[in-house]
Structure 1
Amino acid sequence: MTLVSTYDVTAVRAHFPALDEGAAHFDGPGGSQTPDVVADAVAATLRAAVANRGANTVAERRADGIVGAARQAIADLLFADPAGVVFGRSMTALTYDISRALAKGWRPGDEIVVSSLDHDANIRPWVQAAQAAGATVRWAELDPVTAELPVAAVTELVSERTRLVAVTGAANLVGTRPDVAAIAAHAHATGALVYVDGVHLTPHALVDMRALGADFYACSPYKFLGPHLGALAAAPALLATLQPDRLLPMPDTVPERFELGTLPYELLAGTTAAVDFLADLVPGNGSRRERLTVSLTAMEEHENAMRLRLESGLAGIDGVRLYGSPDRARTPTVLFALDGVPSAEVYRRLGEAGVNAPAGMFYAPECARRLGLAGVGAVRAGIAPYTSESDVDRLVAGVAALRA
């Protein structure tokens, strides 16, 4: 298959010191490897003078500039408003915070819609918040054969009583990409809000949260080459309607009222560097958003080519079962099992061969159970911007050797 001529995976890989250790990394869905420029940005911030944000000293101004730059970087990545970008310890922590703030306005009789396709971080916070408020949780069910979430499975549950629909932009377990825009349009017609888990979508596609119809969009920089951190974007006016629990001396401004404690400036600097790195995957000119559009489009084609190569190779091995629908829109994530060999053993043996492809349910127990994987899991191979044909061939050869 011919790849995009402007995407040079060899040049990309040269920026990842971790790859020098020799492993083929398919563990990106759990956390990607880090390019040198991100590590440099983190280290430079730790070496520089920083302080609590302010305008009086160089250290205060530096901290304030780092925060502002990171908000703008995430806004460019998601096509969001930087004044509505919130940072937190993780996507899970941010979702819990938003769920508690929203639930203050929920009452018995209100309904919340969640999906069995989702990571538990976009399920459990809503279930628990609904229980505390006396609201009802309604479940949209995936198709266990295709691992798709039909639009109708969600929209048939939405009514005038619905307060929020929580849905994934892409399923971290199988890569399925629901039609979020169609779901959101129906939810908005009834006055419901839409919370999108974009953790697994953001590393693999150009995101426009407004086009998706996301009122809230949450993601994790450490999944797209950045540091361990969570980010959430929403319209500032929407955030202004919420009153999260906070300390008395904390700012009551948006988005600061949602950020507990002093922000990790070094991680924010690394996040900005990660977005800049993504924008420059394909060298070019223009605004950062324009460069992201070109680079992520090329990256997506490269990753999709690697996925097709991997699926083709695995399909040729007797006893391999692939989960999900290969013909539908999805991220480059391949979930598979090998008949007669526990997935945990496949994971271990591949690791011994220098191929990092973990096995499990990956914090998606509802999805795993409906796919018949409860308690056993499967092997998940995630393609990343640095994945090469050689990496893919090593994984296929490792599985073939196990079969033999």
Structure 2
Amino acid sequence: MPFDLARIRAAYPALAEGYVHLDGAGGTQTAAPVVDAVTAAMRAAVGNRSAAFVPGRRSLEMVTAARSAVADLLGARPEGVVLGPSATALTYTLARTLGAGWRPGDEVVVSRLDHDANVRPWVQAAEAAGATVRWAEFDRATGELPTDQYADLIGERTRLVAVTAGSNAIGTVPDVPAIAKVAHAVGALVCVDGVHSVPHGPTDVAALGADFLVTSAYKWSGPHLAAMVADPAGWETLRPAKLRPSSDAVPDRFEAGTPSFPLLAGVAAAVDHLAGLDPAATGDRRERVRAGLAAAQMHEEQVFDRLLAGLTARPAITVYGSPARRCPTVSFRVAGLTPADTAAALGERGLCLSYGDYYAYEYFQAMGLRDSGGAVRASVYHYNTVDEVDRLLAELDRLAECGGRMAG
């Protein structure tokens, strides 16, 4: 069945305001079922978790439903889903917990292609333990993350390898399964940042070879919450710092404090929404999610192809990276204009794009772009259209003329 874009767009109330949202990498708009679920949860009587009364049982049900939904999204087990406020917070919790067992001489491998949320927590945990940090480098011309370097980076003292499944700066999709295979051969753990990859196609934690994978719901039409998944047996071996009376069960022991129950209702609704992207899909929710995201991925690729071709064809625009496999995300600069000025000018015309380093600190530092303002990012999500891309390209042509006059 063709991707019904009109039906999909109608499910996002914010799109009615008329802005062009070409930065799904920074956060997508929220689907109506998510808004409704959060609103309904906030209107109902909800107590803190308790089996003693109905409002308390409702909160228990919301937690259970959110875990089940995330498990279906990622191919994980509900009892291995840890929920939290952000991918950064969850990664810090894991890094501090694992790092407590590291010793001088142990090694951690991180990548300069990653969002800093999958870099700095590991670097800091290694520093605290006296462990060594080893860096995987990306190809400056293509933006690829060469897999063969990991054979030299990973050794008998490697304790953890952190790698992204999709660059939030230039979209690169590294060969995570191959990297994980090298890591697992020496007994190292693998933490995969799936924040940018999960919204753009079906995800299977086992196929990736991820021991831990983190994702953020607000990148796939949901609320501002995150989840990290692992095999429940893997969580059982870890002892995070926690309050003494809080639950010692897995996965609860990794979730500090009381969660936002209404937002958890929104997480479950967001996964249900993704499961409905392809109305012809059948089977259980896991199967329907995979089908829906596969259909969305095909649409996104068509829109992104138009965007990338248009950007690369314009002499006044410099596009960074040309990876063979990529999420629908690209960073660029317009000659004669700073990234900040470009984004502001586009914003005045109703086009919403991010600028700067978007927390891809190491990438922009290595490229020599960070101190001069980074770049402008365009990222396609499944509600974007070819017409929106054409509108962006037309505005960039206008800005390029202005930039040329300013440079002259």
| Smaller-chain TM-score bracket | over 0.9
Assess if the C-alpha contact under 8 Å between 2:336 and 2:400 holds in 1.
no
Q: Which residue of 2 aligns with 1:86?
A: 82
1:340 counterpart residue number: 336
Tell me what 1:390 maps to.
Answer: 387
Aligned equivalent of 2:129, options 116, 129, 133: 133
Q: Distance in 2 between matches of 1:156 and 1:119?
A: 23
DSSP 3-state at the match of 2:38:
helix
Query: For residues 57 and 135 of structure 2, what CA distance do their matches in structure 1 show?
Result: 47
Q: What residue is the counterpart of 1:224 in the other structure?
A: 220
Picking from 38, 63, 67, the partner of 2:34 is: 38
Contact 1:63 1:265 in 2 (8 A): yes
Distance in 2 (alpha carbons) for counterparts of 1:232 and 1:302: 27
Which amino acid is 1:92 matched to? T
**Given residue 237 of structure 1, which amino acid in structure 2 is its aligned partner?**
A
Q: Distance in 2 between matches of 1:373 and 1:170?
A: 20
1:245 aligns with 2:241: yes
Cα-to-partner distance string for 1:132-158 (whole Å, 9 max, x where unaligned) = 111110111111111111112223200
Deviations 1:304-356 (A, max 9, x none): 11110011122232211111115x11100011111121111110111111111
Find 1:297's aligned residue among 280, 294, 299.
294
Which of the residues 280, 285, 292 maps onto 2:282?
A: 285
Correspondence list, 1:4-403, <5 A = 5-283=1-279, 284-325=281-322, 328-375=324-371, 376-403=373-400
**In 1, are the aligned partners of 2:26 and 2:354 still within 8 Å (CA)?**
no
- CA-CA distance at 1:104 after TM superposition: 1.3
Within 2, Cα distance between the matches of 1:171 and 1:203?
13
Q: What do the CA deviations read for 1:221-252 (whole angstroms, capped 9, x no partner)?
A: 01111000111000111101000000010010
Structure 2: distance between partners of 1:256 and 1:305: 41
Q: Is the deviation greater in 67-76 or in 54-63?
A: 54-63
The amino acid of 1:62's aligned partner reads R
Shift of 1:396: 0.6
Task: Report the secondary structure of 2:184's partner residue.
Answer: helix
Percent identity (aligned): 53
What amino acid maps onto 1:143 in structure 2? D
- Alignment TM-score, normalising by the size of structure 1: 0.97
Tell me, which stretches of 5 or more residues in structure 1 are unaligned?
Answer: none
Is 1:360–1:379's contact at 8 Å kept on the other side of the alignment? yes
* 8 Å CA contact retained: 1:323, 1:336: yes
State the 4+ residue runs in structure 1 displaced beyond 3 angstroms: none
Output the amino acid matched with 1:275: V
The residue type equivalent to 1:115 in the other structure is S
The answer to whether the 8 A contact 2:339-2:374 is kept is yes
Give, in whole Å, the separation in 2 of the partners of 1:195 and 1:168.
8
Specify the SS of the correspondent of 2:79.
helix
Shift of 1:285: 2.5
Question: Quick one: distance in 1 between partners of 2:147 and 2:313?
Answer: 33
SS in 1 for 2:149: helix
Given that residues 318 and 403 in structure 1 are in contact (C-alpha distance below 8 angstroms), is that contact kept between their aligned partners in structure 2? no
Per the alignment, in what secondary structure is the counterpart of residue 214 of structure 1?
coil
Alignment RMSD: 1.0
Secondary structure of the residue aligned to 1:322 is strand
2:254 corresponds to which letter in structure 1? F
Partner SS, residue 307 of structure 1: helix
Shift of 1:9: 1.1
Q: Distance in 1 between matches of 2:322 and 2:152?
A: 23
Structure 2 counterpart of 1:359, one-letter code: Y
Task: Compute the displacement of 1:394 (Å).
Answer: 0.9
Q: Work out the CA distance in 1 between the residues paired with 2:313 and 2:212.
A: 41
* Segment of structure 1 superposing worse, 287-296 or 69-78: 287-296
Q: How many residues align?
A: 399
CA displacement, residues 4-30 of structure 1 (integer Å, 9 cap, x when unaligned): x52111110001111111111012111
Gaps of 5+ in 2: 402-408
Conserved in 2, the CA contact under 8 Å of 1:276 and 1:288? yes
On the 8 A contact 1:110/1:162 being kept in 2, the answer is yes
User: For residues 393 and 100 of structure 2, what CA distance do their matches in structure 1 show?
Assistant: 50
How far residue 373 of structure 1 moved from its aligned partner, in angstroms, is 1.3
The whole-number CA distance in structure 2 between the counterparts of 1:300 and 1:259 is 32
1:37-95 CA-to-partner distances (Å, cap 9, x unmatched) read 10000010011111122222111111111111100100000000110100111000000
The question of whether the paired residues in 2 share the 8 Å contact of 1:147 and 1:371 is answered with no
Is the 2:194–2:214 contact (alpha carbons within 8 Å) kept by the matching residues of 1? yes
Secondary structure at the aligned position of 1:11 is classed as helix
Letter in 2 for 1:136: T
